[in-house]
Amino acid sequence: MTEGNILGQLVLFALPLLLGNVFQLLYNMVDTIVVGNFVGKEALAAVGSTTMITNMVVFFFNGLSIGAGVVISRLFGAKDYSRMHDAIETTMALTFSLSVVFTILGVIFVQPLLNLMATPDDVMPDAKTYLRIYMAGISGIMIYNMASGILRAVGDTKRPLYFLILTSVLNIALDLIFVLLFGMGIFGAALATVISQFISAILVIALLTSTDDVYKFVWGDLHFDKLLLSQMCRLGLPAALQATITGLSNTFVQSYVNHFGSSVMAGWSCYNKLDQFIFLPITSMTHSTTTFVSQNIGANKDKRAREGTRIAIWGTAVVVSLIALILIVFSNQANGIFTKDKEVIYYGSLFIRVNTGFLVANAINHTLAGAMRGRGDSSGPMLIMLATFVITRQAYLFIATHFFANTPVVVALGYPLGWVLCCIIEIMYYRTKHKYWQSER
């Protein structure tokens, strides 16, 4: 990514990643569609309410993969393949160790987390079943994401995509078999997802161990390099902690939503699934920008890194605005994919109309944060996002619902408030840091 047309490089890297994210999202999306249409709105509400919890763990590992990816891509850009090999072995050692820890903790804390979100009694049994199975198999998606991060760091986004397509199709088949044929309900939906995720992890690990390229993973060389681990944690932990704390904050938002009952919960679940699809271009371009900037900084091409940041921000903002407009116009039809319950569709469409137009702010702040992480600054974006996505949002929700009006719309507005404020502060911060980076040169 250090040579050639900048927009072309960013798009070529982001497109396979975008498609991969689509298929990865389909794992949980298919569960939502199947249980919403064939089990009931309580099961639909259960899957939606547990998404906030599962995302906390997945996003934590995604944050760590960003740190590992920056280190590996810089070494790749500098052609230091010996140290890159050490970085890969360290990344996988960290992944396997944390997978065990998160699986154990995830299973143990299922009930307390659901209680924290004030999950209603009619939703609790399904939510507990789905979350317990999902957390027991969470290491599959963790290993896949970290191993795929290694491939992305060296510019390979296509083969992880092929694996996701294969296992997403498998997940759809297993969902239909377990839920419709065997009548396993929400337990079958969760089991189908876990099996598919483990197969994707096995496939990407097999690729890394069988290749003869510079990014080969060797089981016998598995170890922790203290210096590289420190660099990965310095770059990745802020993003991981930011994502985890934001996810925890979102579980509190979910508790406000749960207050309104299963119909609003199910509508919120539908909205969140559609919102995640709009978010895919943002996520994909953020990863593309991080890799682009880190490789060019490693190759001492600062001007190209800055130009790539500008192009990525504008491109992502335009794409997200167009998708948001389409979704707002066809909100009822989009929610109808998940359920035929008119009340659920009403609330899902309401949340889309209230929030979706503001996602352009998220397009800017996440892409800009990705660029700064590529430069080695993870702490700044983390602190800004924690202040706006967590502290400001929770303060708003408490004050608004306790002293003004406790309605679904008032709760939903907590999200765009954080997005817009984050965007403003982050742009100001980036401009200040840019002057600092210039003075260093």
Torsional sign, CA 416, 422, 427, 428: positive
Average pLDDT over residues 55-61: 77
Report which residue type is found at 281. Answer: P
pLDDT band at 210 (very low <50, low <70, confident <90, very high): very high
Mean predicted confidence (pLDDT) in 71-84? 86
Least confident of 52-56, 144-148, 185-189, 289-293: 52-56
pLDDT computed for residue 438 by the predictor = 55
pLDDT of residue 434: 64
Round to whole Å and give the CA distance between 329 and 207. 43
Give exposure, 167-206, as e/b (b: 16+ Cβ within 10 Å).
bbeebbebbbebbeeeebbbbbbbbbbbbbbbbbbebbbe
Q: 2: pLDDT confidence band, cut at 50, 70 and 90?
A: confident
- Which tens digits make up the pLDDT trace of 162-190? 888 888 889 889 988 998 888 888 898 88
Closest to 249 measured CA to CA, from 57, 118, 53, 421: 53
Place of tokens 């092929």: 162
> What does residue 330 show for φ and ψ, rounded to 5 degrees?
-110, 35
- Would you say residue 90 has pLDDT above 90? yes
Q: Report pLDDT for 87.
A: 92
93 contacts: CB under 8 Å, gap ≥ 6: 222, 223, 224
Q: Is the pLDDT of residue 43 over 80?
A: no
For the segment 203-217, the average pLDDT, to the nearest whole number, is 90
Query: Looking at the predicted structure, is the pLDDT value of residue 221 above 60?
Result: yes
Q: CA-based Rg of the chain, rounded to a whole angstrom?
A: 21
Give mean pLDDT, residues 307-325: 91
Q: How many CB atoms lie within 10 A of CB 76?
A: 24
pLDDT score recorded for residue 42:
76
- pLDDT tens digit sequence for 373-424: 888 887 888 889 889 988 999 899 999 998 888 899 999 999 999 999 999 9
Banded model confidence at residue 1, pLDDT cuts 50, 70, 90: low
Write down the pLDDT at residue 306: 87
Alpha-carbon span 344 to 269, nearest angstrom: 9
- What's the chain look like in SS3? CCCCCHHHHHHHHHHHHHHHHHHHHHHHHHHHHHHHHHCCHHHHHHHHHHHHHHHHHHHHHHHHHHHHHHHHHHHHHCCCHHHHHHHHHHHHHHHHHHHHHHHHHHHHCHHHHHHHCCCCCCCHHHHHHHHHHHHHCHHHHHHHHHHHHHHHHCCCCHHHHHHHHHHHHHHHHHHHHHHHHCCCHHHHHHHHHHHHHHHHHHHHHHHHHHCCCCCCCCHHHCCCCHHHHHHHHHHHHHHHHHHHHHHHHHHHHHHHHHCCCHHHHHHHHHHHHHHHHHHHHHHHHHHHHHHHHHHHHHCCCHHHHHHHHHHHHHHHHHHHHHHHHHHHHCHHHHHCCCCCCHHHHHHHHHHHHHHHHHHHHHHHHHHHHHHHHHCCCCHHHHHHHHHHHHHHHHHHHHHHHHHCCCCHHHHHCHHHHHHHHHHHHHHHHHHHHHHHHHHHC
d(CA 6, CA 17): 17
Summarised one tens digit per residue, pLDDT across range 330-387 is 999 988 888 888 898 999 999 999 999 898 998 999 999 989 888 888 788 888 988 9
Predicted confidence (pLDDT) per residue in 266-280, tens digit:
888 888 888 877 888
Q: What is the largest CA-CA distance in the chain?
A: 66
> What per-residue confidence (pLDDT) applies to 382?
83
Retrieve residue 379's tokens. Answer: 């702490």
Return the pLDDT at 417. Answer: 92
Please calculate the CA angle 141-106-91 and round it to the nearest 5 degrees. 45
**What does each C-alpha distance from 5 to 121, 290, 304 come to in angstroms?**
56, 17, 10
Neighbours of 326 (CB within 10 A): 13
pLDDT at 205 over 90: yes
Q: Give the type of residue at 92.
A: M
Whether the Cβ atoms of residue 98 and residue 319 lie closer than 8 Å to each other: no
Closest C-alpha among 375, 373, 354 to residue 365: 373
If pLDDT is split at 50, 70 and 90, which confidence band does 28 have? low
Report the distance separating Cα 341 and Cα 336, nearest Å. Answer: 8
Query: Which residues, including other chains, have CB under 8 Å from residue 132's CB and lie 6 or more apart?
Result: 107, 110
Q: How far is 254 from 208, CA to CA, in rounded Å?
A: 39
